[in-house]
């Protein structure tokens, strides 16, 4: 709002300076200089306003994209939970079968398997094709009325004379001249991009820190899993904006009245009209006459088929015990190999710090999803697929 007021004030001053006129040459040069200064300030204010609007729009777009990502992640999590709840529990033991000392297991979800098969589908049911035989015509000569008889008004132009007259072009007025321009300064403002919130995470935490403090735990008696409530801090961003700290100083200057001698035309005799009769107009033309009307013939069209590639499910989602690399066996060296391999494949975006954190777990989940591997933990199968263990 303050920026808009400054632009409006500068526009008013610019308009007054543009409309005002002075006989003195020195005063005219001062006015031109002030006009150029005000015009420069106006352009600068408009540029700054446009830059701030672009920056705000960019921040708003980034915020909307982050909200869409969060909503998409929540939707995928809900779908996964629904699939797990629909899984048949028959044949699934309470403890991992045939386990050896030192081994760790986790109850994971194996995604469904799909295959592409060729299927014959109906593309066009067929039917009838309608063929139209055009009509036949012949040319004949006829006399037709082109324009009916009527009347026309002829205008006799008016008569004018030229007279000279002295008129007031601009009355005596006062104008405001900027003596001292306004002063501005830049300030930094802190804007919250995302508020603080909490999220639930499944399983024992493989990392500890200030940003991943466990606030609450819940035990699920059905699956034997641990749910941890984790606090996510708010996100902020700093932006710069320009504010006015001292308004401009102006003074009033008298502008004398301006007269001008003009020459104008005065009406001596007004315009007149008279009526003129117009006869009818005929024309001999050639006209097409219908000799034989159009015909419609129906022809049968056979149906059309095509083969398409269709994605078919050949294995349902499974819920089973699988050997994993637990916290005891997850050494920093193994984590470093895991992060290096995932970063090389384009899944891991964080630093190689030998710490199994959220970014590493996210990269593991994305790799398992793309490769069709069991999801939910760092399984032995996933580690062998990445060639970090034998």
Residue 280 burial by Cβ neighbours in a 10 Å radius (0-12, 13-18, 19+): exposed
CA angle 314, 316, 318 (to 5 degrees): 135
What would the pLDDT profile of 229-252 be if each residue is shown by its tens digit?
Answer: 888 888 888 888 888 888 888 788
DSSP secondary structure code for residue 209 in this structure: -
pTM above 0.75, yes or no: no
DSSP secondary structure code for residue 87 in this structure: S
How far apart are the C-alpha atoms of 295 and 91, rounded to whole Å?
A: 73
Could you tell me the two tokens for 171?
Answer: 């009355």
DSSP string over 146-190: EE--EEEEEEEPPEEEEEEEEEEEE--EEEEEEEE--EEEEEEEE
CA angle 182, 186, 191 (to 5 degrees): 135
Could you tell me the two tokens for 19?
Answer: 């409309």
Please name which of 235, 233, 231 lies closest in space to residue 192, comparing C-alpha atoms.
Answer: 235
How far apart are the C-alpha atoms of 254 and 263, rounded to whole Å?
A: 29
pLDDT tens, N- to C-terminus, the chain (390 residues): 444 444 444 444 444 444 444 334 445 567 777 677 877 888 888 888 888 888 888 888 888 877 877 776 677 666 655 655 554 444 455 666 666 665 677 667 777 777 788 888 887 887 888 888 888 888 988 888 888 888 888 888 888 888 888 888 888 888 777 778 888 888 888 888 888 888 887 755 444 445 545 444 444 445 556 777 888 888 888 888 888 888 888 788 888 888 888 888 888 888 888 888 889 888 888 888 888 898 888 888 888 888 888 777 777 777 777 777 777 778 888 889 889 999 999 999 989 998 888 898 899 889 988 888 887 788 888 888 888 887
Cβ neighbours for 340, distance < 8 A, ≥ 6 positions apart: 352
Neighbouring CB atoms inside 10 A of 111's CB total: 18
């Amino acid at each position: 709002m303050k920026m808009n007021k400054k632009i409006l004030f500068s526009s008013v001053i610019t308009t007054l300076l543009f409309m005002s006129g002075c006989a003195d040459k020195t005063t005219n040069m001062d006015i031109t200089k002030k006009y150029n200064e005000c015009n420069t300030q106006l352009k600068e204010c408009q540029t700054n306003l446009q830059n701030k609007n672009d920056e705000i729009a960019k921040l708003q777009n980034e915020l909307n994209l982050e909200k869409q990502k969060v909503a998409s992640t929540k939707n995928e999590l809900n779908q996964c939970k629904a699939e797990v709840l629909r899984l048949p529990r028959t044949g699934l033991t309470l403890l991992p079968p045939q386990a050896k000392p030192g081994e760790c297991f986790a109850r994971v979800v194996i995604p469904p398997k799909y295959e592409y098969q060729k299927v014959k589908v109906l593309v066009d049911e067929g039917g009838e094709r309608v063929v139209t035989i055009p009509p036949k015509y012949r040319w004949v000569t006829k006399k037709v009325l082109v324009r009916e008889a009527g009347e026309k008004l002829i205008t006799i132009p008016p008569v004018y004379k030229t007279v000279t007259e002295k008129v007031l072009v601009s009355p005596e007025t006062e104008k405001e001249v900027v003596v001292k321009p306004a002063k501005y300064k830049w300030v930094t403002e802190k804007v919250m991009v995302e508020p603080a919130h909490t999220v639930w995470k499944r399983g024992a935490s493989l990392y500890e820190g200030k940003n991943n403090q466990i606030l609450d735990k819940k035990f699920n008696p059905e699956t034997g899993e641990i749910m941890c409530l984790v606090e996510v801090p708010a996100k902020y961003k700093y932006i710069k904006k320009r504010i006015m700290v001292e308004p401009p100083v102006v003074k009033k200057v008298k502008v004398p009245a301006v007269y001008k001698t003009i020459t104008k035309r005065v009406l001596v005799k007004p315009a007149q009209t008279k009526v003129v009769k117009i006869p009818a107009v005929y024309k001999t033309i050639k006209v097409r006459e219908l000799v034989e009307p159009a015909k419609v013939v129906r022809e049968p069209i056979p149906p059309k088929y095509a083969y398409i590639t269709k994605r078919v499910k050949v294995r349902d989602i499974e819920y089973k015990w699988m050997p994993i690399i637990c916290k005891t066996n997850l050494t920093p060296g193994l984590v470093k190999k895991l992060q290096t391999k995932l970063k090389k494949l384009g899944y891991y975006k964080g630093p190689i710090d030998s710490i199994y954190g959220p970014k590493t777990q996210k990269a593991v989940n994305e790799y398992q999803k793309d490769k069709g591997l069991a999801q939910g933990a760092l399984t032995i199968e996933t580690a062998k697929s990445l060639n970090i263990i034998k």
